[in-house]
Every structure is written in structure tokens, then in C-alpha cells.
Amino acid sequence: AGAVRGHLSFSRIVRGPFQAALLGYAVDQERAGQGYMSEALRLALGYVFSELGLHRVEANYVPTNERSGRLLRRLGFVVQGYARDYLHIDGEWRDHVLTALTNPNPEDPELP
């Protein structure tokens, strides 16, 4: 009880005309496929779009991580491109699929 089973974060939050962030997430393998991350991401995305007023969230995944790709597609993320040697993981440079989701209920935010 009380053990951390996953995490998610929004980084590179940029205000002004961009109004975007980069999403990162991971879940314990024992909990993968049980809907925990899907629910957590739905709540977190709702928050950053409605409360923080972001316009766009980007999320990238390793092409062999099909479960992550399916999760992002179910949430409405759309493939934006492919980046070779994008991130150094476990001693190797890994390619990533680049995806993004724009705010489904955009309002005209007053930009700072």
C-alpha cells in the first residue's frame, strides 16, 4: 500500500503564443494495461487544458512501445512526425514517434 505505481509530468511548459507542454509518463509493468494511466492522463489533460489554458500537449514514444502509441491515439493524440536518435535511453539513442493533442475546447485565451 502506498507504493508509487506510475508517474506523469508536463515539462517544457511554454506560455505566450505557443501555450504548450511536453507530456511524459510511465507505469509499473504490473499495472500496465489496467487503465490506470489512461484515467490519470484524461484527468491531467483536462486540467492543463481547462485550468492552465494550454493549447497543445506533445507526447513522444519509442516506436516499439505499441501500448503507448495505442494509449495516445485513444486519447486523441495525432502523429506529427518521426525523430531519429531522439533520446538517449539505456545507453542507446532511440528513435521516437512525435505526437500532439490540441485543446478540444479552445477558447480565445488572453495571451500574456
Q: What is the pLDDT of residue 109?
A: 53
pLDDT tens column, 34-86: 778 899 999 999 999 999 999 999 999 999 999 999 999 999 999 999 999 99
Q: How far apart are CA 30 and CA 54, in angstroms?
A: 32
In a domain, 109, yes or no: no
Domain of 43 in residue numbering reads as 10-102
What average pLDDT does this structure show over 8-19?
94
| Percent with pLDDT over 90 in the chain | 76
Q: How far apart are CA 52 and CA 19, in angstroms?
A: 9
Q: What is the pLDDT of residue 34?
A: 74
pLDDT-based confidence at residue 1 (cuts at 50, 70, 90): low
In a domain, 93, yes or no: yes
In a domain, 110, yes or no: no
- For the chain, the C-alpha Rg in angstroms (whole number) is 15
What angle (nearest 5°) sits at the alpha carbon of residue 57, between those of residues 9 and 73?
A: 100
What angle (nearest 5°) sits at the alpha carbon of residue 26, between those of residues 22 and 30?
A: 165
